[in-house]
Amino acid sequence: MAEEIKNLNEESNNEAHFSHEELVKLTQEAIDKIIESDPLFSGLPSDVTTEELKSQTAVAQGQAITLYLNRGELPRLSIVVSPNSTTVLDLKKAIKRQTTLALCRERVKKKISWKHVWKKYDLCFDGVPLNNDNENIKNYGIANKVELQYVKKRREKNKIGVKLAEDNLKNF
């Protein structure tokens, strides 16, 4: 019994003691090595989120597709969504999440008014605006690895005046 206690004391003296910060750093380094060595996850950033890991796995298993959003001068944004049940509104929400994540990674503290974005711009695929939020993206012909872009909406001047003139002509 005394020998066992002596062995336990020696083991506890040989153990390394780490601070919380050191353990976090070691864990992050280990995760980075795992991600870098795995061909499926090698393109992901070191501060990858659980959602991004799940999305990448779903793409590899054929359960999700990757769409690319061309943002003009800004880097192209990868959006992962389900190919079957995704509506235009779901796609817009995914764009919002990915844009917010990209801004956080770039340490940009800027609030985007998405109401303003969708009021001023259409999300387009192949020149066709995705106007109906309830429409499935498949109905627009959107498939894996296609490119979407923002297109500034055309402003309709005198919308009320035109409507009144049309109504007057009908009654004439």
Q: Is 55 exposed, middle or buried (0-12, 13-18, 19+ CB in 10 A)?
A: buried
Q: Which helix (H) or strand (E) holds 128?
A: strand 128-129
Structure tokens at 141: 């012909």
Q: Residue 120 in contact with residue 102, Cβ under 8 Å?
A: no
Q: Using CA of residue 110, residue 115, residue 119, residue 121, what is the dihedral sign?
A: positive
The per-residue pLDDT string of the chain (172 residues; one tens digit each, 9 = 90 and over) reads 556 555 555 555 556 678 898 888 888 888 778 777 777 676 677 677 778 778 887 888 888 999 999 988 888 999 999 988 899 999 999 999 999 988 888 888 888 899 999 999 999 999 999 999 999 999 999 999 999 999 998 876 655 555 555 555 555 4
